[in-house]
């Protein structure tokens, strides 16, 4: 390997560079006046209890604030309440230290955007940044100054419900979008802006690799894989200046991340240059006891010594570290360092300048769920839908005749937003039925039938729908009604899939097909012979083998937020042309998981994907590839890719190579296309992925318009971490691939010097 960059020197330049002399002086002055207990108080982050985001452990906040036993809190809803708690902190305590107020603002606050996995399918950092900016503007108007977002965990196992919360399977795209989130939430002058809030990048690290897709499970992987496949989004978020990082629930190399010194100090601080605040996940210091690693007091020592600054919920730092200090197990210097980080965060948020900066009830009255924000959410949602199938140009639908909207998600007001939207008010959201009716006006009729429950089994359904239950009906009667409505209609739109809470935290599944009752409904509707469109709601990639073989049109709308009804109607009737592309491979079977396009080459590649090949790396009963590949998504128009050209056959050391491809809109609609570039390293120190995304461009072409898309490939794109974890590349042969998705690419070869 040549062109090696030492990891440490490469990362020494990164970092947040928050520090400034004035802040240091201010905080030192403050800390000189603080007792040990008051410092430990700053490290304590309890949950308020208006929202439930973990096993319930609420604390009486006002009393703890008066006693200066907390540095902040989360899960309290409403600016008036938050303002009062802030008042207690700055007017009824001696030190007058303001509190940080956190919340899981994941995809919007009152105006809700599509779930993050859907957002990533826009492949549009501007859209992601804008959504985060609006979420920050609304949350900040309602008392919140800190969001536990973005989640940047790479996820490749659709069984894991939290795949919905991230940007999909690819580290390159994940890194681009991680930066966009940080920019959107934090803006460029956090201290002086009352409309931006601090981010908390999570979950550090590798939580997306939860074994078997079961939540809170261990994640075990080689350093090579960590560095090459999982690390880039965390690094990018840190480089973009993320103010905080949350450690993850899982173990890393056997040690819970919460207390993993290599992870939190050697890697995050020393190598990545992170200078912000490091907070645990919910009670994860307490959970080290259940991991069988250490009871609370010892766990607190290990978490602090590993580099943790703030303890979410467990209370271990507040209640046990004084004794551990006396016993010599922790140092005062380390406690001071953690306390300083909490105070720095407050300083950077401008809370010492004005503790009520985020507590302006007049802003909350005017700036939440505004027409402007909702219009943006509607526009953005349309960019996230992925058209998976459209035989004979069945979509867009015409606004004419009688349209049957059938399925339990067609008129489910409380189920449009998807997971993590506990701050929103679903009663203010439109349903799909309302959206479609508004779009057709009096040009067509839309009739609705629920058609089925989510699951046949009532108990299974209760678990699946969680806090957003749907009215259940008699299975047989629902189906009969639906068939009646279908018989009297010209076209069927089937709104089926997962309910909101079937993905997200604590929502793992082993069967990733559309739930049974809805699958049968779909089969019965298909058997009528009427034209049918599947409008798919889901928070994860599903096994759509039957649907893909039998339903002519499939539009995946994920969970699109508060404006779902109108946004879906916009695309269904062609006011907007779909342009989203998948950021996770859709499998053919749950048995393929984990599944992702950038798999590492084996010594026995699958030579014949159409038949089983003994002694090759394949299955007896299933192909290796997914049903819908990473990067895939159709449009109402068609795009033709001309021949790719390279500016040279060789990329000189430290030089660049231009890759050009002409793209033409050959169909009947003006539309956006996402052009993708992949590379493959032919020979390297370690086995390398069959392809890796290294560039993409979202372009807009009018009907008949052509454009030459140019990518500038630099040697940076060729680099990887070798078996010694050195970062660089091996001179030699590379392939470069360009196409509309990760499967349908054209390939050229070049040499890198």
CA distance 314 to 430: 39
CB of 263 to ligand NOJ, least distance (A): 16
CB of 417 to ligand NOJ, least distance (A): 17
Nearest to 271 by CA among 235, 224, 232: 235
Q: Is position 281 an interface residue for ligand NOJ (rule: CB under 6 A)? A: yes
DSSP 151: B
For residue 615 the two structure tokens come to 């002694």
**130 contacts: CB under 8 Å, gap ≥ 6:** 184, 376, 380
CB of 103 to ligand NOJ, least distance (A): 8
Output 75 or 228, the one with its CB closest to ligand NOJ: 75
For residue 118 the two structure tokens come to 């859907």
Q: Kindly tell me which residue out of 282, 678, 696, 720 binds ligand NOJ, with binding defined by CB under 6 A.
A: 282
Output 138 or 281, the one with its CB closest to ligand NOJ: 281
Output 85 or 103, the one with its CB closest to ligand NOJ: 103
CA distance 640 to 665: 7
**Per CB under 6 A, which of residues 485..514 are in contact with ligand NOJ?**
505
Phi then psi for 373, rounded to 5 degrees?
A: -65, -40
CB of 202 to ligand NOJ, least distance (A): 5
Output 103 or 672, the one with its CB closest to ligand NOJ: 103
710-713-719 Cα angle (round to 5):
160
Do 211 and 167 form a contact (C-beta atoms < 8 A)? no
Phi then psi for 650, rounded to 5 degrees?
A: -130, 140
Output 102 or 410, the one with its CB closest to ligand NOJ: 102
When computed from its CA atoms, the radius of gyration of the chain, rounded to whole angstroms, is: 26
For residue 100 the two structure tokens come to 């940080």
Output 54 or 629, the one with its CB closest to ligand NOJ: 54
For residue 669 the two structure tokens come to 């609609």
For residue 112 the two structure tokens come to 């809700």
Output 103 or 444, the one with its CB closest to ligand NOJ: 103
Residue 426: how many other CB atoms lie within 10 Å? 17
Strand ranges, E, within 337-450: 386-390, 402-406, 445-449
CA distance 186 to 163: 24
Handedness of CA 101, 215, 522, 121 (dihedral sign): positive
Strands 532-537 and 491-497: parallel
Q: Kindly tell me which residue out of 38, 104, 157, 383 binds ligand NOJ, with binding defined by CB under 6 A.
A: 104
CB of 268 to ligand NOJ, least distance (A): 17
CB of 163 to ligand NOJ, least distance (A): 13
CA distance 91 to 97: 9
CB of 105 to ligand NOJ, least distance (A): 10
Closest chain position to ligand NOJ (CB): 53
For residue 65 the two structure tokens come to 């604030």
Nearest to 448 by CA among 485, 402, 418, 479: 485
Do 281 and 202 form a contact (C-beta atoms < 8 A)? yes
Output 147 or 618, the one with its CB closest to ligand NOJ: 147
DSSP 729: E
| Residue 675 preceded by cis peptide, ω within 30 | no
Output 228 or 308, the one with its CB closest to ligand NOJ: 308
Output 104 or 124, the one with its CB closest to ligand NOJ: 104
Residue 100 CA, distance from chain mean position:
24
Measure CA of the first residue to CA of the last residue in the chain; give whole Å.
11
**Per CB under 6 A, which of residues 49..68 are in contact with ligand NOJ?**
53-54
CA distance 8 to 546: 50
CB of 165 to ligand NOJ, least distance (A): 8
Task: List beta partners, residue 312.
Answer: 45
Output 103 or 268, the one with its CB closest to ligand NOJ: 103
Is 281 considered catalytic here?
yes
CB of 470 to ligand NOJ, least distance (A): 25
CA distance 147 to 137: 12
| Residue 205 preceded by cis peptide, ω within 30 | yes
DSSP string, 459-497: HHHHHHHTTS------HHHHHHHHHHHHHT-SEEEEEEE
For residue 652 the two structure tokens come to 């000189």
Number of residues lying near ligand NOJ (CB under 6 A): 8
DSSP string, 346-370: HHHTTTTT-TTTT--HHHHHHHSS-
CB of 108 to ligand NOJ, least distance (A): 15
CA distance 558 to 122: 12
Binding mask 438-477 for ligand NOJ (x = CB under 6 A): ----------------------------------------
Strand ranges, E, within 142-218: 146-147, 200-204
Classify burial at 654, counting beta carbons within 10 Å of its beta carbon; exposed 0-12, middle 13-18, buried 19 or more: exposed
**Per CB under 6 A, which of residues 368..427 are in contact with ligand NOJ?**
none
Output 56 or 620, the one with its CB closest to ligand NOJ: 56
Question: CB-hemisphere CA count at 13 Å for 149?
Answer: 33
CB of 577 to ligand NOJ, least distance (A): 35
CB of 104 to ligand NOJ, least distance (A): 5
Nearest to 691 by CA among 737, 740, 634: 737
Residue in 104, 124, 142, 281 annotated catalytic? 281
Q: Is position 183 an interface residue for ligand NOJ (rule: CB under 6 A)? A: no
**Per CB under 6 A, which of residues 25..54 are in contact with ligand NOJ?**
53-54
CA distance 554 to 532: 9
CB of 738 to ligand NOJ, least distance (A): 37
Q: Kindly tell me which residue out of 39, 110, 196, 202 binds ligand NOJ, with binding defined by CB under 6 A.
A: 202
Question: Which letter, b or e, does each residue of 687-719 get, where b requires 16 or more Cβ atoms within 10 Å of its Cβ?
Answer: ebbbbbbbbbbbeebeeeeebebebebebebbb
Q: Is position 148 an interface residue for ligand NOJ (rule: CB under 6 A)? A: yes
Output 112 or 494, the one with its CB closest to ligand NOJ: 112
- Residues forming the active site: 281
Q: What does the binding site for ligand NOJ look like in residue numbers (CB under 6 A)?
A: 53-54, 104, 148, 202, 281-282, 505
């Amino acid at each position: 390997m040549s062109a090696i960059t030492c990891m440490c020197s490469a990362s020494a330049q990164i970092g947040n560079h928050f520090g400034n002399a004035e802040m240091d002086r201010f905080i030192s002055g403050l800390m000189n006046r603080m007792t040990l207990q008051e410092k430990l108080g700053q490290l304590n982050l309890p949950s308020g209890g208006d929202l439930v985001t973990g096993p319930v452990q609420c604390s009486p906040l006002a009393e703890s604030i008066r006693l200066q036993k907390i540095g902040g809190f989360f899960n309290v809803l409403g600016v008036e309440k938050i303002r009062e708690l802030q008042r207690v902190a700055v007017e009824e305590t001696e030190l007058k230290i303001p509190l940080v107020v956190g919340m899981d603002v994941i995809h919007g606050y009152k105006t809700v955007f599509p779930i993050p996995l859907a957002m990533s399918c826009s492949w549009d950092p501007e859209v992601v940044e804008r959504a985060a900016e609006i979420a920050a503007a609304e949350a900040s108007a309602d008392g919140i100054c800190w969001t536990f977002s973005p989640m940047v965990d790479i996820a490749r196992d659709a069984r894991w419900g939290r795949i919905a919360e991230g940007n999909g399977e690819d580290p390159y795209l994940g890194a681009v979008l991680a930066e966009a989130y940080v920019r959107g939430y934090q803006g460029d002058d956090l201290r002086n802006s009352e409309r931006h809030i601090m981010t908390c990048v999570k979950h550090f690290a590798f939580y997306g690799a939860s074994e078997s897709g079961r939540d809170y499970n261990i994640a075990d992987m080689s350093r090579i894989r960590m560095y090459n496949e999982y690390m880039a989004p965390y690094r990018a978020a840190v480089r973009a200046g993320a103010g905080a990082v949350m450690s993850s629930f899982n173990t890393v190399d056997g040690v819970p991340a919460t207390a993993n010194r290599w992870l939190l100090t050697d890697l995050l601080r020393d190598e990545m240059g992170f200078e912000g605040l490091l907070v645990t996940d919910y009670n994860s210091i307490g959970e080290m006891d259940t991991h069988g690693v250490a009871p609370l007091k010892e766990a607190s020592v290990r978490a602090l010594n590993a580099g943790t600054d703030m303890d979410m919920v467990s209370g271990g730092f507040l209640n046990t570290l004084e004794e551990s200090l006396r016993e010599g197990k922790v140092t005062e210097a380390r406690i001071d360092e953690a306390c300083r980080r909490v105070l720095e965060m407050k300083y950077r948020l401008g809370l010492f300048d004005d503790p009520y900066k985020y507590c302006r009830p007049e802003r909350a009255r005017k700036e939440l769920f505004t027409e402007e924000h909702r219009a943006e959410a509607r526009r953005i949602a349309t960019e996230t839908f992925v058209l998976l199938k459209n035989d004979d140009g069945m979509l867009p639908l015409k606004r004419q005749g009688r349209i049957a909207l059938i399925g339990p998600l067609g008129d489910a007001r409380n189920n449009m937003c998807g997971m993590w939207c506990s701050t929103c008010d679903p009663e203010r959201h439109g349903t799909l039925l309302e959206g479609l009716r508004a779009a057709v006006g009096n040009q067509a009729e839309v009739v609705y039938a629920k058609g089925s429950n989510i699951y046949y089994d009532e108990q299974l359904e209760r678990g699946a729908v969680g806090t957003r239950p749907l009215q259940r009906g008699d299975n047989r009667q629902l189906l009969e009604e639906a068939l009646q409505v279908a018989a009297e209609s010209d076209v069927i739109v089937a709104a089926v899939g997962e309910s909101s809470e079937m993905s997200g935290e604590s929502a793992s599944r082993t069967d990733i097909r559309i739930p049974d009752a809805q699958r049968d409904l779909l089969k019965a509707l298909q058997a009528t012979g009427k034209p049918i469109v599947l409008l798919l709601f889901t928070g994860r990639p599903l096994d759509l083998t039957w649907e893909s073989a039998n339903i002519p049109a499939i539009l995946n709308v994920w969970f699109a937020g508060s404006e779902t009804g109108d946004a879906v109607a916009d695309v269904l009737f062609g006011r907007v042309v779909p342009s989203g592309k998948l950021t996770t491979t859709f499998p053919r079977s749950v048995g393929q998981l984990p599944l992702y396009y950038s798999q590492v080459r084996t010594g026995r590649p699958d030579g014949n994907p159409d038949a089983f090949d003994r002694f090759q790396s394949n299955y007896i009963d299933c192909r290796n590839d997914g049903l819908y590949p990473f990067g895939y998504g159709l449009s109402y128009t068609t795009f033709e890719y001309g021949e790719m050209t390279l500016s040279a056959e060789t990329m000189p050391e430290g030089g660049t190579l231009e890759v050009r491809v002409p793209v033409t809109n050959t169909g009947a609609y003006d539309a956006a296309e996402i052009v993708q570039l992949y590379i493959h390293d032919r020979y390297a120190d370690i086995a390398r992925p069959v392809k890796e995304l290294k560039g993409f461009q979202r372009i807009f072409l009018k009907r008949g318009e052509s454009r030459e898309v140019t990518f500038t490939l630099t040697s940076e794109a060729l680099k990887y971490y070798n078996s010694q974890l050195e970062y660089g590349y091996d001179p030699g042969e590379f392939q470069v691939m360009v196409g509309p998705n990760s499967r349908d690419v054209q390939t050229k070869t070049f040499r890198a010097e």
